[in-house]
Structure 1
Amino acid sequence: MQNKNSDFCAPLTSFDWNEVDPNLIGTSSIDTTCTIWGLETGQAIGRTNPVSGHVRTQLIAHDKEVYDIAFSRGGGGRDMFASVGADGSVRMFDLRHLEHSTIIYEDPQHHSLLRLAWNKQDPNYLATFAIDSMEIIILDVRIPCTPVARLNNHRSGVNGIAWAPHSACHICTAGDDRQALIWDIQQMPRAIEDPILAYTAEGEINQVQWSTTQPDWIAICFNNFLEILRV
Structure 2
Amino acid sequence: MSTFHMDGTDIQILDMRSPGQPVMELKAHRAQVNALGWSSTDSQLLATAGDDCQLLLWDLAPHTQAAAASPRTASTGLSSPRPDVKKRVITDPVMAYTGAAEITNLAWSPQIASMAMNTGHTTAPGEWIAVAMGKSIKALKV
TM-score, structure 1 as length reference:
0.44
Q: Any gaps of 5 or more consecutive residues in structure 1?
A: 1-125
The structural deviation recorded for 1:185 is 1.3
Instruction: Provide the rounded CA distance (Å) in 2 between the counterparts of 1:192 and 1:152.
Output: 6
Matches within 5 A, 1:127-138: 127-138=2-13
Task: Kindly indicate whether residue 93 of structure 2 is the aligned counterpart of residue 195 of structure 1.
Answer: yes
Question: How many residues align structurally?
Answer: 106
Q: Which residue of 1 aligns with 2:29?
A: 154
**Corresponding letter in the other structure for 1:194:** D
Does residue 218 (structure 1) correspond to residue 132 (structure 2)? The answer is no
What is the CA RMSD across the aligned residues, in angstroms?
Answer: 1.4
Equivalent residue number for residue 167 of structure 1: 42
Distance in 1 between the 2:21 and 2:4 partners?
14
Give structure 1 regions of 4+ aligned residues with deviation exceeding 4 angstroms. none
Distance 2:29 2:42 in 1: 22
Give the alignment's TM-score, normalised by structure 2.
Answer: 0.70
Displacement of 1:213: 4.1
Percent identity between the two aligned chains: 40
Between the aligned partners of 1:230 and 1:169, the Cα distance in structure 2 is 17
User: Which residue of structure 2 lines up, in the alignment, with residue 230 of structure 1?
Assistant: 141
User: Letter of the aligned partner of 1:136 in structure 2?
Assistant: I
> Are 2:41 and 2:111, in contact at CA under 8 Å, matched by a contact in 1?
no
In structure 1, C-alpha distance between the alignment counterparts of 2:37 and 2:19, rounded to whole Å = 21
**Alpha carbons 2:27, 2:89 under 8 Å: kept:** no
Which whole-Å CA distance do the structure 1 matches of 2:141 and 2:129 have between them? 6
